[in-house]
Amino acid sequence: LYDLTTSYRIDEARELQYDIVTLFDAMLYSAEFPDGFRTAVRLRGFDTGVGRQPLSDEQQTDLATLANKLQCMLSEHGFTNEPICGCPLPAGTKGSSPEEVATIVQAVVTELKRRGLA
């Protein structure tokens, strides 16, 4: 953010700032504080342990949901190597149609059979 601002790339800096605010909002309001922050830090590869108070089933569900959301948000900016599962496509990105996916799968299966691997 600092580098973008000092290099006068204000529009990019503003977009990143909004993403950061969204990230902090998710960590603050989607789960009990500070467990939302612990979840984000854990996704970055740091073990912060567990909170002192036991979590209810609902709180554990909230944290799991938050972890998926944070995983998507962090991966959009290259801050996690965790596999992305169920993340929405970035704006302007066209997803593959079921027909396109079927064609790709069929091509892979055909190639595996040709190589004697299927």
How many other CB atoms are found less than 10 A from the CB of residue 43?
Answer: 19
C-alpha 12/C-alpha 34 separation (Å) is 29
In the chain, where the domains are located:
2-87
pLDDT of residue 8: 94
Give the rounded distance of the alpha carbon of 103 from its chain centre.
28
pLDDT of residue 69: 86
At a CB cut-off of 8 Å and minimum separation 6, what does 3 contact? none
Is residue 38 within 8 A of residue 6, CB to CB? The reply is no
pLDDT of residue 1: 86
pLDDT of residue 86: 63
Averages of pLDDT over runs of 10 residues in the chain (118 residues) are: 92 91 87 86 85 87 88 77 61 69 84 84
Is residue 78 within 8 A of residue 86, CB to CB? The reply is no
